[in-house]
Structure 1
Amino acid sequence: MQCSSRMGEKKLMSLVLVLAAMTLVIMYLNISENSKATHRVIDLEEDQSELDQSELDQSQQLYIVGDMPPTPAVVKRDVGHYLCILHTNVVYIYAPEADSGILHCIMTRFGFLKDLFVTLPVNKRDSTNNRGYDDVRSTQYLRPSGVTASHRVYREETINVFTQPARYDKEIMSKMFPEDTRYISMLRLPIHRFAADFIYSRLDKHFNTTAEAESPKKYLDDPEYWESQKTTSHCTRNCMSAVLGFPLDGAMNTRDTQAAMDVIKQLDSDFALVLIYEYLDQSLVLLKRYMCWGVTDIMHYVGTTLLPRKETLARLSTEDHIRNFRRVNSMDYLVYDYFNKTLWRKIEAEGPGFHKEVKNFQNIQKEVAKYCRAAVGNWTSANHTVIAASDWNKKFDFTRGMCYQFGRDRREWESLLKERYFSSKRRRPRGSKLPIINV
């Protein structure tokens, strides 16, 4: 009797497992079939037929066939035999000079080439000059219903990609963006972020004293004094934590470490990934894995900027300067240290193959940079270079036209988006001058 009962239980358990497996297969097939019916995503590593136009067209015009932007779907990525969830809804929260515009351009380019809806400010101001500390309001940003180009069709009211300067506000943003949106940010060593912002924003012009703080070093010698002389509302204290939703300019009691840690842990829960500038390549490969993107989705140019050189940053990072700066930026250091450790825990969890993928990504970046330096503006050179297959990417061609796409800056992407949303017909956007590429 007991034996029969056990056999019955085993049969029932087997039936449950079979039904569960069949349900998963049906769900996967439905998702895949639905995604094929509503969109086709151009993958630069695989769909080279989309780019086989004239060289001029390759460099200037990349439109997606289909009338709807993609929704997250189960896809097979790269040459690995695994399934992952493609994430196309993303919000990027950034602090000025914490990434030098790299992530902004990566996210915007991803949305543009995939024909996702990348939002823009409703008003006509140049959003690239906004410093990123304004409270966010849904009425500030364009929605698909505001697009006037008749040939552009987007899913109703869905903002897929958000890269505009704004403070993180969970309550408001959860209502603005789809439920499956992934929140991303990037942090930089606070003293280096400040030095870069000091130079880029010309902060030496905003101190009410006859003695100019002509360099970041002068400020770092006595930050409390210079803060008392500041005549600008531009953030100079705890700026990264302010963008992430902490009270501005040290309003939170800096001694209340536990309250600060509670906020940080909530951010850790809210954000899919917080990248670290000092480990950019590792961060981007981790982003690729978390979002189920391809290697071309995370590639970028490193151009010349107004930011301090590495040797300059090293001179600023003396023990005295760091101690002085920590006194007025304790929250930023707390946030940075926490997410720096979190990043490496996530990298460790990816396994030993992760570091090999980072090396492969770096090699591709160097190869592409070398090719683009030779190919752009030189029509006697090869019109493409072949990127070899690896354990993390299929073999693909990188064309001269793609060099132009990867060289666009924030203003150029915003101009292209405006033309896409408001032009009555598809006009080829103007070319862009590539920055000097460092490898």
Structure 2
Amino acid sequence: MIGFFQHHVLKATKQQKPIFKACQPSTNVMFLKTHKTASSTVLNILFRFSEKHNLTVALPNGNGFHLGYPQLFRATFVEEFKTIGQNFNVMCNHLRFNAREVRRVMPNDTFYFSILRDPVPLLESSYVYYKSSAPAFRNSKNVNEFLSSPGSYYNLSEKNWNIYAKNNMWFDLGYDNNAAYDEHYVQSVIQDIEQNFHLMLIADYFDESMILLKDTLCWHLDDVVYFKLNARNQNMAHTLNPESKEKVKEWCALDWKLYKHFNDTFWSKIQERMDLKTLYKEVGLLQQRQKELMEMCLLEETAVEGNKVKDQRLKPFQSGLAKILGYNLKQDLDNGTLKICKRMVMPELQFMAYMYSHQFPDKKKKPIDFR
């Protein structure tokens, strides 16, 4: 079956039949969780995979929810790093990438990947989500007003609070999001990223990304099936006018160049592994499995606003102007099905706290209040 057992044909002589060798699922993975790129959904996938295979996750120490973000990552941000050392299997919480320090935590054979998104819808999403926390956004009436003259709202003296307002993916990858655009500099950073990461997924092609990830890591289809998490009510979306869309590409020129480059390499990597007919056959299987699980698990056909989520433990965190959606589960599920369904819909912070309590049962994190 394509994806679960990827068969590599060894070159055979005329007297020999082709020899098929089944690959083994990769269990050492580092995912750089970028902001507003569907990365919370990927994190849920990785937490479920970690629990399924009893893997050790690099979780934030103390009462933190991020691995030191927005500081550059340091190994000491990981709970029990001094004890566990370079024996963690999975790293996927928010951090600002620092290759040297990450390699102190993750094994040498770790697979590194991240996810990028078109900077135009990314900035609009960031504006709504971080409206109350980023001064550049807070001081403008709407996203089009901000983009009409972003430099007048963006104060470099407040750059630590404005990281979501300019080249945020560039920042998450560990680079200066306020650097002047220079072609030689941009190309050197892209080469650096390509040395550090094996794969860049594209949020705008999320299902295709999941198939490529599954195929690359030799995972099963159910390992990458998902319910969309941390999504917002689209009624809160701002419509960017044509001038604003072009302004994003200029204002976030570093992110725009980054996205264009890795969007190209994304499709090249797909073509290396499969033809488009095979790709979309697998996408169809993924979407069918997702539909089956939603029919099995969910009370409503779609996600609902956070204040309508009945189980307090499954309420998503709310931020800014965004109304983050969540899910209600059916009430008559047997224990085994309920466990599967809960994992599928569990928001990021609750899943992280759950993983922490099972990995470090003698330690307690501060309770999360979602009222």
TM-score by length of 2: 0.76
Instruction: Tell me the alpha carbon deviations over residues 136-187 of structure 1, each in whole angstroms, 9 at most, x when there is no partner.
Output: 11111123765xxxxxxxx775111111222222222223211001111011
Unpaired segments of 5 or more residues in structure 2? Answer: 8-19, 301-328, 364-369
How far did residue 230 of structure 1 move? 8.1
Instruction: Tell me the alpha carbon deviations over residues 268-307 of structure 1, each in whole angstroms, 9 at most, x when there is no partner.
Output: 2321211111100000110001111111111111257336
1:325 aligned residue: 248
Instruction: Tell me the alpha carbon deviations over residues 335-388 of structure 1, each in whole angstroms, 9 at most, x when there is no partner.
Output: 000011111111122223122111111111112112212593332x7x59xxxx
Count of residues in correspondence between the two structures: 319
How far did residue 113 of structure 1 move? 2.2
2:46 aligned residue: 107
Alignment of 1:2-401 (within 5 A): 77-78=4-5, 82-99=21-38, 101-127=40-66, 132-143=69-80, 157-203=86-132, 206-207=135-136, 212-228=139-155, 231=158, 233-235=161-163, 236-247=165-176, 249-251=177-179, 253-254=180-181, 256-303=182-229, 305-306=231-232, 308=234, 312=237, 315-316=239-240, 318-352=241-275, 353-374=278-299, 376-379=329-332, 383=334, 399-401=337-339
* AA aligned opposite 1:177: M
- Between the aligned partners of 1:205 and 1:274, the Cα distance in structure 2 is 27
3-state SS in 2 of match to 1:88: coil
- Between the aligned partners of 1:304 and 1:94, the Cα distance in structure 2 is 13
* AA aligned opposite 2:286: F
Unpaired segments of 5 or more residues in structure 1? Answer: 1-75, 147-154, 385-397, 426-432, 434-439
CA contact (8 A) 2:202 2:266 kept: yes
**Equivalent in 381, 393, 413 of residue 351 of structure 2:** 413
Q: 1:82 to 1:355 in 2, by over 3 A?
A: farther
Instruction: Tell me the alpha carbon deviations over residues 195-254 of structure 1, each in whole angstroms, 9 at most, x when there is no partner.
Output: 212211224772599xx423222212221222149856230111101111222x322x30
CA contact (8 A) 1:186 1:277 kept: yes
CA contact (8 A) 1:117 1:144 kept: no
CA contact (8 A) 2:87 2:107 kept: yes
CA contact (8 A) 2:125 2:237 kept: no
| CA RMSD, Structure 1 to Structure 2 (Å) | 3.1
- Between the aligned partners of 2:267 and 2:253, the Cα distance in structure 1 is 22
Higher mean alpha-carbon deviation, 136-145 vs 161-170, is at: 136-145
How far did residue 405 of structure 1 move? 1.5
- Between the aligned partners of 2:80 and 2:280, the Cα distance in structure 1 is 40
- Between the aligned partners of 2:286 and 2:43, the Cα distance in structure 1 is 19
- The alignment-based identity, stated in percent, is 22
1:35 aligned residue: none
3-state SS in 1 of match to 2:32: strand
- Between the aligned partners of 1:415 and 1:294, the Cα distance in structure 2 is 26
TM-score by length of 1: 0.65
3-state SS in 2 of match to 1:242: helix
3-state SS in 2 of match to 1:185: strand
Alignment of 1:416-435 (within 5 A): 416-423=354-361
* AA aligned opposite 1:171: R
How far did residue 127 of structure 1 move? 2.9
Q: 1:322 to 1:230 in 2, by over 3 A?
A: farther
- Between the aligned partners of 1:176 and 1:97, the Cα distance in structure 2 is 25
* AA aligned opposite 2:247: N
Q: 1:306 to 1:230 in 2, by over 3 A?
A: farther
* AA aligned opposite 2:145: K
- Between the aligned partners of 2:102 and 2:6, the Cα distance in structure 1 is 36
Q: 1:418 to 1:351 in 2, by over 3 A?
A: closer
* AA aligned opposite 1:164: N
- Between the aligned partners of 2:136 and 2:170, the Cα distance in structure 1 is 23
3-state SS in 2 of match to 1:184: strand
* AA aligned opposite 1:261: Q
Instruction: Tell me the alpha carbon deviations over residues 79-125 of structure 1, each in whole angstroms, 9 at most, x when there is no partner.
Output: 97651232111111122212251111111221122111112122223
CA contact (8 A) 2:135 2:154 kept: no
3-state SS in 2 of match to 1:85: coil
CA contact (8 A) 1:112 1:118 kept: no
CA contact (8 A) 2:119 2:259 kept: yes
- Between the aligned partners of 1:177 and 1:229, the Cα distance in structure 2 is 34
Q: 1:371 to 1:170 in 2, by over 3 A?
A: same
